[in-house]
Every structure is written in structure tokens, then in C-alpha cells.
A and B are shown apart, each in its own frame.
Chain A
């Protein structure tokens, strides 16, 4: 039986991760790798790289888990890991959808007029 210093996250369904820095490092490098494949001028790539680099720098600098949680200001470290996994799957789907292209189709002129 493992005896961790933090026994439980307090959240249902989220187990405590014993090496969050390593996991986050892997996830963030994977995300940055996926982002290299989308065009450089896409706004998604620009903003996501900014967010991920900020978080990556914080993870590299701060070794204490509690202080890292406070600095990231985004809930438990396990939640940050879940969010990074979501961002990775989103980046992979964005590569296929290519949302940076111009508008697919203009709506009819009266479509969004309110009142009718």
C-alpha cells in the first residue's frame, strides 16, 4: 500500500497523482508538439502556446506541489492535469477541423435580426 502525504484530493473520481511535475511536463511538451503542426499565424496556436508556456515555466520553476497549485490558481494539481489532457485532445481535433480558415457560409440577411 502506498502511503502518500496527501491521502485524497477531496474530489470524487480524481485520484491523487504522486508525480504531477513529470506528468505535466510530458503533457505540455506533447501539446506544444501538436501545436507545431498548425499554421503559425493561427490565433489558436498563438494563444494556446502563450498559456502553455506560462504554465510550463511555472511547473519547471516550482517544485513544491502546494505552492505550484497556488501559483497556477486553477484548483488542485490533479485538475490541472485533467485540463492539460483536455487541451491536448482539443489541439489534436483542431488540426483536423482547421477553424482558422475564413467563414464557411454567410447567414441569410434576416437570420439574426431581432426583433423580427
Chain B
């Protein structure tokens, strides 16, 4: 069986995507809606805090809840890491995804000033990928062992690590 297409929701998400792209042309590079009705905003890294604050505070877009903050490693690209923020609006019952890019050495603005929930998520991204977050209150390792060297979720990190157990 195939999931039935929800045309109404698709149109609403497209309209909302165009609305946001019209308000923030300085940072939004692309807007896409997947076939499963998921709206994604592709952002320049300078625009993380403006876009997240806009999505949290604006009346038509009250995305008060940060559901997830992760990174994706695509080593063949110039900016290999893609930071992904998943937001949920409780008022309008809708979700949105915000994606940015960075390479290994460029720091990215921390989202903690906008969403307190980003604190441990950013620590995890730092620990696992090596993406540095500027203005983070407490950026240290969270999942790896105390003297661990390396960033495990990178694609060039071997499956069973460098140290023999």
C-alpha cells in the first residue's frame, strides 16, 4: 500500500514556505517540501539565530519547540557538515526543518540563546562531529570517554575506532 497524498497539507506547507522565504531573503537559500509533506528551509550559516528567533517569536509561525538538532556528514562536499534543526509548533500543530552547512574548522552560532533545549544537542554534535558552536555556555564532550580522541560519527572514522579494547 502507498501512503495517500495529502494535497491540502502540501499546499499549506508550500504557501508557508513561500511566506517565510519572502520575509527572510537575506538568509534563506532554498525552500523545499518533500513528498511526505515535510517543509525544509536551507539557510546560510550566518542566519541561524535570526531565522530560529523569527520562527519562534513570529505570530504566524510559533515554532516554540526544538525537537531535534543533529548533523549530517557528507565528506565529498566543500562544507561537509549539514546541521539540521527540527522545530515543532504547538499552536499550529506543524513541523519545520532548518538546515545549515559548515566545514570542520568554521564555528557556527549556538542556538542556546534561542532554544534552551539546544544545549546538550550541540554538545553531542561537537563530540560526535567536531562542529564548534560559538557562544555555547558549556561545550564539552557528552557521550565519548574522557580521554577519547577523534569524532566518531564522521564518515572517515573507522567502525571499531583507533584504540584497541
Contact = CB atoms under 8 A, between A and B. Distances in A.
Interface of A: 43-44, 47-48, 51, 74-75, 83, 86-87, 89-90, 93-94, 97-108, 110-112, 116
Contact of B78 (A51, A74, A75, A111): A111
Interface of B: 19, 22-30, 42, 44, 46-47, 50, 53-54, 56-60, 62, 74, 76-79, 91, 101
A106 to B, nearest CB: 7
Given A105-B44, A107-B101, A112-B30, A44 B23 contact: yes
Contacts of B56: 86
B25 A101 contact: yes
Contacts of A101: 25-26
Contact of B59 (A43, A87, A102, A103): A87
A102 B60 contact: no
A99 B59 contact: no
A58 to B, nearest CB: 13
B91 A74 contact: yes
9 contacts: A75-B91, A87-B57, A93-B53, A97-B26, A99-B25, A104-B47, A107-B79, A108-B79, A116-B77
Given A105-B44, A111-B77, A90 B62 contact: no
B14 to A, nearest CB: 17
A51 B42 contact: no
Contact of B50 (A86, A93, A102, A112): A93
Given A87-B57, A93-B50, A116 B74 contact: yes
Given A102-B26, A111-B78, A116-B76, 6 more contacts: A43-B22, A99-B47, A105-B44, A107-B29, A107-B42, A107-B79
